[in-house]
Amino acid sequence: MPLNRYLTLGRSGLRVSPFCLGTMTFGEDWGWGSSVEDSCRILDAYTDRGGNFIDTANIYTKGHSEQIIGDHIGRHPAKRDRLVIATKFLGNLYRGDPNGGGAGRKSMVAACEQSLRRLQTDSIDLYWMHFWDHLTPIEETLRAMDDLVRAGKVRYIGFSDTPAWKCAQAQTLAHFRGFTPLIALQIEYSLVQRTVENELIPMARELGMGVTPWSPLKYGVLSGKYTRANRETVDPGRGDGIRNHLTDRNLSIVEKCAEIAGQVGATTAQVALAWVQGRPGVTSTIIGARTPQQLEDNLGALDITLSPEHAVALDEASAITPTFPQSFLPGTRTVVHGGTTIDGESREPWDLSPASDNERW
């Protein structure tokens, strides 16, 4: 699947590439990341391959990520109009200012204006709430986002890193009150992080939100460069932040990816990315790169096909224990089916149900 094999995002008509270019590493203002020159080369390499979906945030590299995108793309209408530019609000760039961040109207509108200025564009194609602000009523956030859409400053909206119950509440309120609905959900999702399958993924699929996973390689754990032999000597720039994820379970997953990579002629990272992109509910996986070479390697995941047997092997290697009520509900199907077959699913009769009409009260 090439980058220009576009997909509609959630319950909308917005067409996006199967891999979204994440730009959190654009700019060296955090002490690491890509130079301006490398960032521009990565942007060009991505768009030259037909990629059209770019993700950033107001706080990434202190706002420099947005500025790089604006300087290289936003100021050129012919480039900008062909791309779907997504950014996020909520992060506070102003120490000492309680309204410098959050999901309230004052903060959101100010953040939007600042992002538009840095991106050098008249509108943001997809505006994300970066994560849940428990201090702000969701009604205020939704109404303010809807006002930005009606003003033409935002085209579509989505939530990132927010509990499933809050997303469901927001989507229901949006439909009930005629606000702009959410079309996408951005969450961490990978072979290492599958807990989102308990609530968030089913919620998104039911309520029309296309899923865009972030950290599909779990900070590089699934890249293949970490093994049991070198896990104590990881990149000092990552330190304990990545060392804590180099568990026996996770390294077993890496080893299974490497095994399958050898069978399909791919890299370990490409297998991990292909697995995520093939999951139910996923529309566009967010990939990051510090160099054009890393980008090319990641994009190679679109060229490989995992067999059903490979997918099952990866599922089994990374399996998680369901939480309640998912852990309970499968066992109730015998109570519901009455010993019949429904939608191709057969169940034996429940042992405690009446065996005949004469046994019913």
The catalytic site residues sit at 60
H-run or E-run covering 297: helix 292-299
Residues 6+ apart with CB under 8 A from 260: 266, 271, 306, 310, 313, 314
* Pairing assessment for the beta strands 341-342 and 182-188 based on DSSP bridges: unpaired
Tokens 């959410």 sit at which residue?
182
Instruction: Specify whether the CB–CB gap between 232 and 206 falls below 8 A.
Output: no
Q: Which two tokens stand for residue 109?
A: 């509108």
- Listed residue (127, 247, 155, 152) closest to 192, CA to CA: 247
Q: Report the C-alpha gap between 196 and 160 in whole angstroms.
A: 12
Angle at 278 between CA 272 and CA 279, to 5 degrees: 95
Instruction: Specify whether the CB–CB gap between 69 and 46 falls below 8 A.
Output: no
Q: Say whether 158 sits in a helix, a strand or coil.
A: strand
Taking the C-alpha atoms of 72, 78, 81 and 85 in order, what is their torsion angle to the nearest 10 degrees?
A: -10
Q: Which two tokens stand for residue 122?
A: 């008249």
Q: Which two tokens stand for residue 199?
A: 């609530």
Q: Say whether 85 sits in a helix, a strand or coil.
A: strand
Q: Report the C-alpha gap between 170 and 236 in whole angstroms.
A: 41
Backbone angles phi, psi at 291, to 5 degrees: -140, 160
The one-letter code for the residue type at 244 is N
Q: Report the C-alpha gap between 360 and 12 in whole angstroms.
A: 49
- Phi-psi region at 275: left, alpha or beta (left = phi > 0; alpha = psi -120 to 50): alpha
Q: Report the C-alpha gap between 132 and 85 in whole angstroms.
A: 21
